[in-house]
Amino acid sequence: MLLLCTILLVGLFMLPFLPAIREVMRKDDASPLFINMEYSKDPRYFAISFRRLLLKSAGDLPEGIHNITISKSETIKITNQADVPSDSLIENVFYVKNSLKTGSKVSLQKETYCQGNAQIGESNSIKAVACDGNVDVGKDSTFLRWIDSEKDMTIAENCNLGISATCSGKLSIAVGCTFMRLYGAPIIIAENNMISPAGGESVKYRTVVDGAPTERGISSLPPHDIRNSNLIAEGSLSIGEHAVIHGHIKSHGKIVLGASAVVMGNLFAEKDIEVGPGSRVYGSIFSQGCVKLQQGVTVGDAGRIKSVIGKKGISLECGVRVYGYVATEGKGIVG
Amino acid sequence: MEVVILILKGYLLFTIGIMVIYSIRHVIFTLNRLFSEQRIYYQDIIDTDLKTVSVLIPMHNEEKVAAHILNLLIEADYDRDKLEIIPINDFSEDGTRAILDSYAAKYPFIKPLHRNEGDRGKPAALNAAMEKASGEIIIVFDADYLPPKGLLKNIAVCFTDPEVGAVMGRVVPYNTKKNILTRLLDLERTGGYQVDQQARYNMKLLPQYGGTVGGFRRKEVMELGSFNIRSLAEDTELTYRLAVNGWKILYANRAECYEEVPEEWEVRARQIRRWSRGHNDVMFRYFFRLLKARHLSFREKFDGSLLLMIYMVPVILLLGLLDSLALFFLGEMEIFAGLFFLIFIGAYNTFGNFAPFYQIGTGCFLDGAIHRILLLPLLLFNFFFNMWHITRGFLDTALDIVSRRKAHWQKTERFGNDPKVEA
């Protein structure tokens, strides 16, 4: 009986170790966790990677239908020029060696690469487009993944821009569009409604003074106040109209920046950030909550890249201009 | 005698209280990672005006690995005009000097610092290099690390926040396949970084700067007195020094870097004993300063205190075990039987140790590394191993304080002649 109990006890004690011993012997999951050693952040990564893979597989192929391997086996349609009629459906990867034009209600179900200019019609449904020329997108179109241009891009009203809309040149977006990531030099919202930003267009880029002192415990600043320091607020921070801050701002609550205020540095907040009409922020904006840029706000400056990051959402009103990158995990809304 | 028994029983209850507190702490961390909203790090920020960076790599007899880390840093995507790399040849007696000089001849932004006099050890080497460095931000790597191309930007970007004093990235072992020790250490790292550090970042507590794969502001740290050359845990000390002076420490889970973990139990024992000695020294010096700090919230102070005491907990447990044995032989174990207490402490490894089962399991789950979770029961042995050597480290600290002897830096032995990731 004692022997039986001992065996039982030892058996029960060993029980949790048996799967462990098996894993030690078999090494099913012994490899190091994967780190991409080549990863380098690029807002246009999707499109650039797609172009590279497609040209490697199909760059030398003639017009027609072919089977190629990009990341998996695909059928590709290659043409020199494309004028896709309204209500058409293209199910293959689409490679246009010159310009692309689509009518209304066209559906491109796989990735498209256009080496000339692209003119996308109204109410199109497109998985992804990479274009080497300019891109014009008609109203009410939807992109499931991404849209990218090597030059300028103009987006009409009420488009869904998918995961990212990026270009090397100017990215103009009309009201009613939704997005997650934008990249352009600059990004301009509803250009026709543009109002002059505080500081004026001719303002030369000014950096924050190195070693600027830090002020803590501030919850509000009056209108027209001028501060030559970094500001750190334990709670929310409200900054009056026409105030000028020659430093960075950090708040553990919300930041509300009044109309026509100027901030030379970055804005960081644990909650929402609201930037008043006509204000100018020369640095980046980062919020763990939402970011709202009201009419005529300008972020960054020509020749430099700055970012607007709002974890839960971003709202960009008419006349907003951002030199660089805009991203949210939530919903981005224009207008 | 009654007073002694009362004290012994009181201590037993104190031990249980400590275990309960740490258990709750780690349950909260784990639940936070699984179900709560996650704070994002700053890696999404793209900014052409990032600060100038000096990368410091302390090296003592590192001819086996020196070229690897330099080759990887040469490939980094950081603006070359804003980058300098300072490998610190700290009293090396092998071919390290020649390797560094050959790189310096080829790449002007690699500026080796050869040290053959003055104090030895990592803190002293870093202090000397900071005097020479010109970067606004210092990023430190140990010589056996393999930094990916985008890592420097990922680390440097957080200093666009004016309140951030230091940042810590995630360390991932590359020699996991070597033996059972490396696999268990891999699990500890997973729990420690993927869950513990990230949860502390989410909850705005006090993530820890770990001395490598991390960065800090050069001028500000120098103004605070640079590194304490007597400290064996210069990273922990910097964490608390910055925190009590109003700076925030961030954790960047996406800033991942490979490292080599010890492949021999003896080496691991020395490493953890050194960590314990250094960490406990910091605990004695910073505990009250932390509680009195003006710019820290109650939560930061409370959790910061628990973090400070983390290398004292195994000592408390070991004493608790001895306490229970004493009570058993005195026939005074109405509270707990000795065997039960042993089991209780073993079970604590499951519920409350600094890298407990569920925390590691959750980390593996989040990493998508499911099968290695099966190894968790083996950490029971690791726990008792750690408890013993951490206690030895604690005794070292106590002796350091009593005798005022000077602690000497001990480098962790390297194993790889050709560091690489074995897929």
**A165 and A220 inside one domain:** no
**B133 and B159 inside one domain:** yes
* pLDDT of amino acid A203: 47
Q: Which domain holds residue A140?
A: 45-169
For residue A69, is pLDDT > 90?
no
**B72 and B199 inside one domain:** yes
For residue A193, is pLDDT > 90?
no
Does A309 contact B146 at a Cβ distance shorter than 8 Å?
Answer: no
Which tokens belong to B421?
A: 């990731």
Domain boundary among B274, B296, B330: B274
**Domain for residue A183, yes or no?**
no
* pLDDT of amino acid B269: 96
**Domain for residue A258, yes or no?**
yes
For residue B338, is pLDDT > 70?
no
* Burial class for B319, CB neighbours closer than 10 Å (0-12, 13-18, 19+): middle
**A226 and A164 inside one domain:** no
ipTM rounded to 2 decimals: 0.90
Chain B positions in Cβ-Cβ contact with residue A266 (cut-off 8 Å): 160-162
Partner-chain residue, chosen from B45, B77, B177, that has the shortest CB–CB distance to A31? B177
Are A311 and A294 a contacting pair, CB within 8 Å? no
Cα dist from A16 to A11, A92, B368, whole Å: 10, 52, 22
Chain B positions in Cβ-Cβ contact with residue A38 (cut-off 8 Å): 148-149
**Domain for residue B370, yes or no?**
yes
Does B160 contact A283 at a Cβ distance shorter than 8 Å?
Answer: yes
* pLDDT of amino acid B16: 84
* pLDDT of amino acid A96: 95
For residue range B3-47, what is the model confidence (pLDDT) as tens digits?
A: 998 999 899 889 888 888 888 899 899 999 999 999 999 999 999
* pLDDT of amino acid B347: 63
Instruction: Provide, rounded to the nearest whole percent, the portion of chain A with pLDDT above 70.
Output: 94
Chain A positions in Cβ-Cβ contact with residue B175 (cut-off 8 Å): 32
Please give the DSSP secondary-structure letter assigned to residue B51: P
**B77 and B13 inside one domain:** no
* Burial class for A284, CB neighbours closer than 10 Å (0-12, 13-18, 19+): buried
**Domain for residue A116, yes or no?**
yes
Confidence of residue B413 (pLDDT cuts 50, 70, 90): confident
**Domain for residue A194, yes or no?**
no
**B252 and B349 inside one domain:** no
For residue range B317-326, what is the model confidence (pLDDT) as tens digits?
A: 889 888 888 8
Q: Which domain holds residue B157?
A: 42-274
**B49 and B187 inside one domain:** yes
For residue range B229-254, what is the model confidence (pLDDT) as tens digits?
A: 888 899 999 999 999 999 999 999 99
Please give the DSSP secondary-structure letter assigned to residue A160: B
* pLDDT of amino acid A263: 96
For residue A207, is pLDDT > 70?
no
**B27 and B52 inside one domain:** no
Partner-chain residue, chosen from A19, A247, A284, that has the shortest CB–CB distance to B47? A284
**A245 and A131 inside one domain:** no
**A257 and A149 inside one domain:** no
Confidence of residue B350 (pLDDT cuts 50, 70, 90): low
**Domain for residue A312, yes or no?**
yes
Does B45 contact A23 at a Cβ distance shorter than 8 Å?
Answer: no
* Closest residue, chain B, to A251 (C-alpha): B163
- Nearest of B305, B41, B306 to residue B168 by alpha carbon: B41
Confidence of residue A16 (pLDDT cuts 50, 70, 90): confident
How many whole angstroms separate alpha carbon A223 and alpha carbon A238? 10
**A50 and A162 inside one domain:** yes
Residue of B41, B47, B154, B175 for testing the chain A interface, max A β-carbons within 10 Å: B47
Partner-chain residue, chosen from B174, B257, B372, that has the shortest CB–CB distance to A23? B372
Span between the terminal Cα atoms of chain A, in Å? 81
* Burial class for B222, CB neighbours closer than 10 Å (0-12, 13-18, 19+): middle
For residue range B364-402, what is the model confidence (pLDDT) as tens digits?
A: 999 999 999 999 989 888 888 998 999 999 999 999 988
Span between the terminal Cα atoms of chain B, in Å? 62
* pLDDT of amino acid A37: 94
**B63 and B31 inside one domain:** no
Partner-chain residue, chosen from A20, A32, A284, that has the shortest CB–CB distance to B45? A284
**A122 and A220 inside one domain:** no
Partner-chain residue, chosen from B45, B369, B376, that has the shortest CB–CB distance to A33? B369
Does B367 contact A38 at a Cβ distance shorter than 8 Å?
Answer: no
Does A23 contact B219 at a Cβ distance shorter than 8 Å?
Answer: no
**B155 and B174 inside one domain:** yes
For residue A201, is pLDDT > 70?
no
- Nearest of A295, A100, A278, A125 to residue A196 by alpha carbon: A278
**B48 and B14 inside one domain:** no
How many whole angstroms separate alpha carbon A154 and alpha carbon A138? 9
How many whole angstroms separate alpha carbon B409 and alpha carbon B123? 9
Domain boundary among A169, A197, A227: A169
**Domain for residue B411, yes or no?**
no
**A122 and A221 inside one domain:** no
**Domain for residue A191, yes or no?**
no
Chain B positions in Cβ-Cβ contact with residue A40 (cut-off 8 Å): 77, 149-150, 153
**B98 and B27 inside one domain:** no
Q: Identify the helix (H) or strand (E) that includes residue A43.
A: none
**B30 and B57 inside one domain:** no
For residue A115, is pLDDT > 80?
yes
Are A178 and A194 a contacting pair, CB within 8 Å? no
Domain boundary among A152, A169, A186: A169
**Count of domains observed in chain B:** 2
* pLDDT of amino acid A205: 47
* pLDDT of amino acid A196: 55
Average of pLDDT values for A67-89? 91
Does B161 contact A24 at a Cβ distance shorter than 8 Å?
Answer: no
**Count of domains observed in chain A:** 2
CATH of the domain at B176: 3.90.550.10
**A49 and A147 inside one domain:** yes
Average of pLDDT values for B285-314? 94
Peptide bond into B173 cis (omega under 30): no
> DSSP letters of B94-161?
SSHHHHHHHHHHH-TTB--EEE-SS--SHHHHHHHHHHH---SEEEE--TT-B--TTHHHHHHGGGGS
**A240 and A307 inside one domain:** yes
**Domain for residue B287, yes or no?**
no
**B77 and B126 inside one domain:** yes
Beta bridge partners of B85: B55, B110
Chain A positions in Cβ-Cβ contact with residue B45 (cut-off 8 Å): 284, 286, 307, 309, 325
Domain boundary among B257, B274, B291: B274
What's the predicted TM-score (pTM) here? 0.91
